[in-house]
Chains A and B, each alone.
Chain A
């Protein structure tokens, strides 16, 4: 229901050029009792609008109404398939419409709005080499069965190991794109349903933690600029990379309440060792329902099975 409703509201967001969009007037209804802008609630950033603009839409920021309808129809079909029970394909097909939370198109051709071509800027030579190496290390467990090598947990990707879903900033994926924001005068908490971690963001102007402290989700500092929460994050770990960036990437995120049921979220990333220029994307966060505990490592039969299966296969071939 919520998923459908926000299609109706999104054209308001995209009817004005994104970069030129003005924050709403200080609406009393979006203030905390202590006077800060109020972002509290549960939110989903699900959308099928891709991060980068597909080549077929080169030069165009928006889809036509017809294209948007066609994309949403395709989403509905693709998420509602289910292979015949008991067939090998059923394991993947079981992820049907009930499981997916893909969201819908937001009417744009890409989440990236800067650079204006909607594409991640060219990588530096250094960046390309590093990304190739990283891709090799993070090889997906979702490739061909038995692709491996699955010699130990380190050969499996971070998400399958239940360490982090992905590095910040969070790009929408197929399901569980849910966040809960709770504010206090001195800090903001953003609970990420996956993988049940909370970003605790101090608002008191303190300096970043020592640069020797590297974290999976970095080290965040926030402040208010008008109605916008601005959060700067540094101190990233070298074990999880956003789009091939180095641990020295600087991330700036902005949350602005624009409706009862919507937050305008934008991020800008810069890392001169990786990209020729900074780049930015906008993703709507829309109101959603309760968050639930996403226990992952605790019942990780998937990883257990991958490793046990690999050992059994070795035994067979001995």
Chain B
């Protein structure tokens, strides 16, 4: 899989920038809109850390299996403009990612939301190492993510304000030329950007841009605003590739059962002595 995507990226890399910009995507039949339908996936190391990072070891008992690959980062300029308290909080998140702590007065839980199989939020869902399906109709778009069976419904025909806080946010979309522009609000403060503890508050506002750049490539950009956590808006960007492997299809990754030992293990009945 990685090979076919890498080849695709290599072909793209030799195209002059002007040719990339001039790309006109096929239309969704019967409409004037680009057709983004298909199974897509990004290839970055951002799910471990959205900023530049060197390789890191995993839990030693597993050898090299769960070690972390190095990555150049997807944050433009690499700096995340945290307010001072928030930078300290990010570090605490990472330190306690797998330690049981009581944050809500009830549960003793490790902090890392991915480990707990929580819905990943936006934009993280787009750079997790899992495929996602875009099903684009003429009025709505569904983005279905394998991880945690998370789903987004993007309204293209009527923009409505977010009714309530949620993990995946509330998405209103529009076409800006050939770019799908999605305004996402209504988040809660319970998702992270990565395993490094990068986080946001419920004031998060994400403006996404999906620009078709070649038949099997979408250039993705997200503007991140959260005045409670950051001192200014910041951007991330990365390419999203079409899955070209012959039998590629959207499959399930229902990870709740995988997470139960981590979430509830301390509440199991201890064997009688």
* Binding stretch for chain B, among A86-94, A274-282, A301-309: A301-309
Considering the chains assembled together, what is the distance between the CA atoms of A189 and B149 in angstroms? 13
**Are A164 and B135 in contact (CB-based, < 8 A)?**
no
Considering the chains assembled together, what is the distance between the CA atoms of A298 and B150 in angstroms? 12
**Are B250 and A161 in contact (CB-based, < 8 A)?**
no
**CB-defined interface of B67-82 with A at 8 Å, one 1/0 digit per residue?**
0000000000000000
- B152 CB, nearest partner CB in chain A, Å: 9
Scan residues 115-148 of chain B and give those whose CB is less than 8 A from a CB of chain A: 116-119, 133, 135-142, 144
**Are B269 and A33 in contact (CB-based, < 8 A)?**
no
Q: Tell yes or no: A188 within 8 A of B by CB.
A: yes
Scan residues 160-190 of chain A and give those whose CB is less than 8 A from a CB of chain B: 161-164, 180, 182-189
Query: Looking across the interface, which residue of chain B has its beta carbon closest to that of A187?
Result: B135
Q: Tell yes or no: A11 within 8 A of B by CB.
A: no
- B117 CB, nearest partner CB in chain A, Å: 6
Considering the chains assembled together, what is the distance between the CA atoms of A32 and B144 in angstroms? 21
From A35, A198, A209, A307, contact of B149 by CB (8 A): A198
- A60 CB, nearest partner CB in chain B, Å: 41
**Are B254 and A184 in contact (CB-based, < 8 A)?**
no
Question: In the complex, which residues of chain A have a beta carbon less than 8 angstroms from the beta carbon of B168?
Answer: 293
Contacts A184-B28, A184-B37, A197-B254 given; does A152 touch B138 at CB 8 Å: no
From A161, A198, A292, A308, contact of B267 by CB (8 A): A308
Considering the chains assembled together, what is the distance between the CA atoms of A195 and B167 in angstroms? 13
* Binding stretch for chain B, among A123-131, A213-221, A222-230, A245-253: A213-221
Interface size class of chain B, counting residues whose CB lies under 8 Å from the partner chain: 35 or more
**Are A295 and B166 in contact (CB-based, < 8 A)?**
yes
Q: Tell yes or no: B257 within 8 A of A by CB.
A: yes
**Are A40 and B137 in contact (CB-based, < 8 A)?**
yes
**Are B107 and A191 in contact (CB-based, < 8 A)?**
no
- B243 CB, nearest partner CB in chain A, Å: 13
Contacts A34-B28, A40-B139, A183-B137 given; does A161 touch B144 at CB 8 Å: no
Q: Tell yes or no: A297 within 8 A of B by CB.
A: yes
Q: Tell yes or no: A13 within 8 A of B by CB.
A: no
Scan residues 190-231 of chain B and give those whose CB is less than 8 A from a CB of chain A: 190
Q: Tell yes or no: A273 within 8 A of B by CB.
A: no
Contacts A162-B256, A188-B135, A301-B106 given; does A311 touch B269 at CB 8 Å: yes
Question: In the complex, which residues of chain B have a beta carbon less than 8 angstroms from the beta carbon of A209?
Answer: 247, 249, 251
6 further interface pairs, Cβ-Cβ under 8 Å (given A198-B135, A198-B151, A314-B269): A185-B28, A293-B166, A297-B259, A298-B116, A298-B190, A304-B267
A residues at B contact (CB < 8 Å)? 32-35, 40, 149-154, 161-164, 180, 182-189, 191, 195-198, 200, 202, 206, 209, 213, 215-217, 290-293, 295, 297-298, 301, 303-304, 307-308, 310-311, 314
